[in-house]
A and B are shown apart, each in its own frame.
Chain A
Amino acid sequence: MIQQKKSFPIGLTIVIILCAIGAVLTAYRFIAGLGAVSNLSDGRPWGLWKAFNVYAGIAMAAGGFTLAATVYIFNLKKFHIVIRPAILVALLGYLIAMLSLVVEIGLPPYFWRIFFNYNIHSPLFEVIWAILLYTIVLVLEFSPAIFERLGWKSPLKAVRAIQIPAVIAGIMISTGHQSSLGSILLDMPGALHPLWYTPYLPILFLVSVLMSGPSMVILVMAITSKVFHYKLETGILSGLGKGIAFITGLYLVLKLATLAIAGNLGLIFSSAPQNYLWWGEMLIGVIAPLIMLVMPSIRNNRKGVITAALLVVLGVIFNRFNVTLFGLDMRPGYTYFPTLIEIGIAIGLVAWALLIIWMAFRFLPMVDKHEEAHA
């Protein structure tokens, strides 16, 4: 415990300051309204919060369901040690997405209306419900850490009994909403640039989180290995790296194939400046990590795999910004650049997540001893 106290030591003050700023700005948003705090407009109704906190956040939180599948379904026990940190990161990702939804809707006091009014044809309906339900699943998956700390035996037993069904439900819900985030964009054929718009967007979204998920697991492992002082086995990393290489290769083929089917393959050379963004996203998140992970010398190198994983995550974040901001047309006559308040609220939410992660490492048993005993 004393050693763990020193985790995240340097940034903690900064994180707490950002949390405070974020909280004050969020309160101000609820008093003053969206128009007063943001540069959002009729021409750009969704801005930084949707791109960063919802789209990028949920893509990064995909580590939760991919690792849960790896550990509990595919029974790969060597990943047990990171299951709690990875679930916690995912849980916070979803909490950020949910909070940012509440912050950015026009009628925050009436958020409960989603529980009583249904439109099952709406992809956003599925996404909002999935975020709510999956957050509950993640709370269940993480709750043993809290029950262990408190020493509550019977809730612990109950949660362990429903662990596998909960994991399967989590995978099902994740498959659904990760792809439905792409379906949301299918409703904007006239606005989303043809470099990104394809009827197969839901599939591309799902495949892209299958590469960002395991990459996040690698990053979480890299950080927790320092906190727990365990040795990161290069074998595990390169095994994951091999899987990520396979998925990135598949993603690259799908990206090019969907463009070719629509007859838009030529746009990757001709539609400046949007094609620079496309190339940026593909080079950083797909082509570079693919080349790195295909080469055995880098794949079997700890730092090499971690760098490749970081690139994949950055590339997927870049992609989410492209489809929700840079590549999404505005109504004629409008411009958008986020205000400092928008940026402050977006970063504030992430700061709260970091603070909770720090507290979890400080106060909760982050290694699942129960699973360790089984392994």
Chain B
Amino acid sequence: MTKAVLFDGPGCIGCRACEDACKKKWNLPPIEITGAIDLPAEPTTNQGTYTHPAELSAYTWIKVRKTEIDDAKGFRTVHTLRKCMHCVHPACVSACPVGALQKDDNGATVYDDKKCIGCRFCMLACPFGVPTFEWDKPISYIRKCNFCYDLLAEGKPTACVTACSRRTKCITIGEREEQLAKGRKMIADSPGKYVDHIYGEKEVGGTNWLYLSEEPFEASGLRTYNSTIVPANFKDKSWGGNWGDLTNKLGTEPVATNADRAMEAVPFVLPGVAIAMSGLYWVFKRKDKLSQENALKKGGKGMTK
């Protein structure tokens, strides 16, 4: 039973009620499993657009990204969500050395404070650049959207979905297969309204958050499984990251496929190395012994003490 959320991009007006609801939900006093989390409002600076704050952080787990497009078709804005996509095969779960990130029965990728050591490998493994870190504290935990797993377990919708349901209803929750069917129907029913692509259906093996958009996803800064152009924000970088025309598309394979394959070989390779080394030790020892015996036979002085 995997829950999925469908986000109808053209339906979003950028009211950010979801952001607000998320902060209120996780601002509550001690939460049973993850301990006290406080999601305060963040001071932001002018980014030149309406989008605030600049990016996800340890204190903002869901963010409405507003992108302004001004081309031949005229000026318009596109909305998309920046948040944990809750992958079907999450790279962070595979990468975490202590298993602090786990997939639960409802399809949520949940972080456990009590296991984490703060190595930040999940932040690097995530193809969507989602997990964030409490940089401002001496003891820093990883923070990211956890799909309101406590509400899902009770059969309730997440805080953000509830907030949106009172306004534009552009995010809705349901079973993953049903949501995909609904998304396909929405695309088919209103020709020209959406691009023919459900973001998250195929990306990195599928995600439980599914996006629809009226503009190509690259326009709102999202790489897709088959991107042929680089999203503008990915080009705008200083030293250390400017892949030029290389798209680095996400692909349809789970991110950790290659790493998992390599790790599966380890239990076979290591004993093999040990056996080979033991064998070689015996061979060279014997060779040494034989040569010493030969030296003795020839009447030479013994090498051993």
Contacts and interface: CB of A to CB of B under 8 A. Distances in A.
Contacts of A172: 270-271, 273-274, 277
Nearest to B138: A33
B274 A124 contact: no
A105 B135 contact: no
- What's the interface size class on B, roughly? 35 or more
Name the prevailing secondary structure of the B interface residues: loop
A101 B118 CA distance: 10
Interface stretch (A138-146, A182-190, A348-356): A182-190
Given A194-B246, A335-B240, A184 B121 contact: yes
A113 interface: yes
Contacts of B17: none
A155 to B, nearest CB: 22
A148 interface: no
B263 interface: yes
A121 B93 CA distance: 9
B239 A186 contact: no
A106 B236 contact: no
Contact of B259 (A33, A44, A123, A164): A123
A109 B55 CA distance: 29
B262 A326 contact: no
Contacts of B255: 187, 189-190
B125 interface: yes
Interface in A207-238: none
Contacts of B117: 105-107, 110-111, 113-114
Given A75-B287, A123-B259, A190 B250 contact: yes
A325 B236 contact: no
B124 A46 contact: yes
A34 B135 contact: yes
Given A33-B138, A117-B100, A199-B261, A329 B243 contact: yes
A34 B263 contact: no
Contacts of A281: none
A128 B95 contact: no
Contacts of A374: 304-305
A329 B241 contact: yes
A72 B81 CA distance: 59
B258 A45 contact: no
Interface stretch (A16-24, A35-43, A282-290): A35-43
Given A75-B287, A187-B256, A121 B240 contact: no
Contact of A271 (B237, B246, B287): B246
Tier of interface size on chain A: 35 or more
Nearest to A267: B246
Given A121-B94, A122-B96, A175-B270, A333 B124 contact: no
B115 A106 contact: no
Interface in A119-142: 119-126, 128
B42 to A, nearest CB: 13
Contacts of B237: 329-330, 332-333, 335
B125 A188 contact: yes
Given A105-B117, A119-B99, A35 B258 contact: no
B38 to A, nearest CB: 16
Contacts of A335: 237-240
B105 interface: no
A292 interface: no
Contacts of B95: 122-124, 187
A183 B255 CA distance: 12
B98 A33 contact: no
B259 A193 contact: no
A196 to B, nearest CB: 12
B150 interface: no
A113 B274 contact: no
Interface in A5-35: 30-35
A114 B233 CA distance: 37
A106 B113 CA distance: 11
A202 interface: yes
Contacts of A245: none
Interface of A: 30-36, 40-46, 69, 72-75, 101, 105-111, 113-114, 117-126, 128, 164, 168-169, 171-173, 175-176, 179-180, 182-184, 186-191, 193-194, 199, 201-202, 267, 271-274, 325-326, 328-333, 335-337, 373-374
Q: Which 5 A-B pairs have the closest CB atoms?
A: A106-B118, A35-B135, A106-B140, A125-B97, A117-B98
Interface of B: 54-57, 91, 94-100, 115-121, 123-125, 127, 129, 132-142, 221, 223, 231, 233-234, 236-244, 246, 248, 250-251, 255-256, 258-263, 266, 269-271, 273-274, 277-278, 280-281, 284-285, 287-288, 304-305
24 contacts: A43-B55, A105-B120, A106-B117, A110-B116, A110-B117, A113-B115, A119-B94, A121-B260, A168-B281, A172-B270, A173-B270, A180-B263, A184-B259, A187-B95, A191-B248, A193-B246, A272-B244, A328-B124, A329-B240, A329-B243, A332-B231, A333-B55, A374-B304, A374-B305
